[in-house]
A and B are shown apart, each in its own frame.
Chain A
């Protein structure tokens, strides 16, 4: 459309001035190029055709007072000029932001109502800087926020009251894995390593991977046998164990005190203790985490920990090998699907 056509069909676009009315009733005219920098004004002009004269001035939103409007127009006046370098704009913005917090808030509010996103971001950033590094009391003072939370509420911003066991599981595993790796490095030349070679069948692994939600108890029997074998092997390599409260129980070998009552619980709990020599527990006490989980869940977790660990054990050496050389091929993660479900909680 040529300029002349535009002038005929939409005369207001050709005019250099736009009329604006602030909430107090006052009307003023502003150069078009400057005012049109605000999307809100742009919309009003194009969609509703207002602003072309004093009689049909654009009504600005409630929060745009005359003082604030003049600030906003200053901003627009500077930034609508295309030839400015980034440096210039940045330095202007810095100077522009020198105002008290109260005015900052008003400006943010007004810019938001005019849909002037760059200015909203600028003021938000500045307000963020005001908040950063200050204590809650100071912030409440600056913004005059009511101190209306109970002491209890204040103490638990991030407490995960649902105690997601899987996440904790993952954390524990990685801690254990890390310890194991350290051990391995230390004992690189020791033949003992080979006794830890995993001799589980592929079927077991597959059934674990595929039957993620399958009842672990079904697989318990075959695993028990393997665990017994492992336990014997591990007792021979006592030098590997790091001292910990769980391991202390295990030194006697077969005389392990059950963590819980119940026949199944006994063997399961004892198995998990022996596994510790393969993946040594953390240095610091994670007993406090376990306290929150009831014993039945604890067994289940321990079982899952072992299973999980076995998966990791099987291909970890190869993984490490790959990781240490460049140009590695990316292997599919055996537990990727599990991983997503870990995080796809009810958040």
Chain B
């Protein structure tokens, strides 16, 4: 095959792609790079001007020889030039990251300009200011009827004087990782919201509503707080269509409102309660009882252990359970297994570090293995994968694994990961100990690393 033929075929191929596709390709590049393609050939010279997506990266303008202010000026000049040459009203996605030291007014001009266009679908701003100053998002964003996705990160403030004539009817995706916002007011503007991701900084004055009412249309909720003194008093998650729930925070709630989520597919809970509100835990578990995948982080499990006579709801649909322990507790695990009749995969993480410090006065009692009265039904009929991380060969751990291996009639794989830096000798010893356990399932494979 002649190389020339090959080459000419390639040239026909990319050059036969229509402008719209070439622009599509450019839209995945930083705008600076897209503009640089104008030197490639005549065809590419003006292509970038038809871009509908702007990816503006202020950090890429950093050069060591220039002062930060000078760098910023160059970036501002650059963006001004770009906005003059593209069709601002046709812009569909506007992404900007950088540091805003002196040009917040100009930034607001730019945002006003793009939000005035009827096609803006996505606005992404990531502004991290080393100077500690912050940027207030202009109102024009909140009357942008075409906006589908709003992602804000960093030193940005969202606040409202009044909500009149503000609405985000098309907004489906909201992702906030900013220092301050009036979250409830913002949520009230988004009747069609499907995905909400909120990260609360460890900052007083962070996202600090007393009430959060999540829109009823919501399907995916990720709520994470770094703060150990979160002051959310009233959290209402009344979303019948909720499919995915991921909560990681410290709950000092006095009033929480959840309902059972019938469509829930996946729930990840990393919640820490203080003494007084521990009784909310059963309520939360009840709400997620229809989930297919459940992940409980160590803090949550620690709470579970502390709840006196905790009764788990039946997890009818649970297929995969991931559970983390600060200290492995087989009693709680067995209790939980009794309630998961369809469980197929079990992932245990012992010695998981706790995200939130233990808030309980009582010391954690060391637990020990007691032979369960009856075998959990899932072990016998459904459980086929077990994975155990940070196995330390404690007696309780060993007994649990042995118990399950013996009684697991449909087990396929049991994988044990020892803690890092475990001697090979110890690993061999563990393997030997477990190999002598009679296996309930003929196809069961035991792996150790």
Q: Which A residues fall within an 8 A CB radius of B?
A: 101-102, 105-106, 108-109, 112, 120-121, 124-125, 127-129, 131-132, 136, 139-140, 142-149, 153-154, 157-158, 160, 164, 167, 170-171, 174-175, 177-178, 282-284, 323, 326-330, 333, 336, 339-340, 342-345, 347
Contact = CB atoms under 8 A, between A and B. Distances in A.
A105 B159 contact: no
Nearest to B110: A343
27 contacts: A102-B9, A102-B10, A106-B13, A112-B17, A112-B18, A120-B21, A120-B24, A124-B25, A125-B28, A128-B26, A129-B28, A143-B10, A145-B43, A149-B45, A158-B85, A170-B106, A171-B77, A174-B106, A178-B101, A283-B70, A327-B159, A328-B136, A330-B138, A336-B112, A340-B109, A343-B88, A347-B86
Contacts of B202: none
A131 B29 contact: yes
A333 B78 contact: no
B370 interface: no
Nearest to A154: B39
A171 B13 contact: no
Q: Is the interface of A mostly helix, strand, loop or mixed?
A: helix
B61 interface: no
Q: Which of B14, B29, B38 has the most CB of A within 10 A?
A: B14
Contacts of A329: 161
B444 to A, nearest CB: 25
B105 A333 contact: yes
A339 B112 contact: yes
A147 B44 CA distance: 11
Contacts of A125: 28
Given A102-B10, A128-B27, 14 more contacts: A105-B13, A109-B17, A120-B21, A127-B25, A131-B29, A143-B14, A145-B41, A153-B45, A157-B35, A174-B102, A174-B105, A326-B205, A343-B83, A343-B84
A129 B42 CA distance: 22
A148 B42 contact: yes
A326 B134 CA distance: 10
B255 to A, nearest CB: 25
Contacts of B113: 340, 343-344
A133 B86 CA distance: 23
Interface string B16-60: 111001001111111001011111111111000000000000000
Contacts of B36: 136, 157
B41 A131 contact: no
Contact of B13 (A102, A140, A174, A345): A102
A140 B43 CA distance: 12
Given A131-B25, A343-B110, A147 B41 contact: yes
B229 interface: no
A329 B136 CA distance: 10
Interface in B69-85: 69-70, 73, 76-78, 80-85
B297 interface: no
Contacts, number: 162
Nearest to A150: B42
A142 B87 CA distance: 30
Interface in B120-163: 133-134, 136, 138-139, 157, 159, 161
Contacts of B88: 343-344, 347
Contacts of B10: 101-102, 105, 142-144
Nearest to B43: A145
Nearest to A107: B13
A128 B86 CA distance: 20
Nearest to A125: B28
Contacts of A142: 10
A171 B84 contact: no
Contacts of B8: 144
B21 A112 contact: yes
A243 B14 CA distance: 55
Which of B13, B108, B136, B159 counts the most chain A CB atoms within 10 A? B13
A131 B81 contact: no
A326 B76 CA distance: 26
Contacts of B24: 120-121, 124
B6 interface: yes
Contact of A323 (B45, B106, B133): B133
Contacts of A333: 105, 108
A347 B84 contact: yes
B11 interface: yes
A158 B75 CA distance: 13
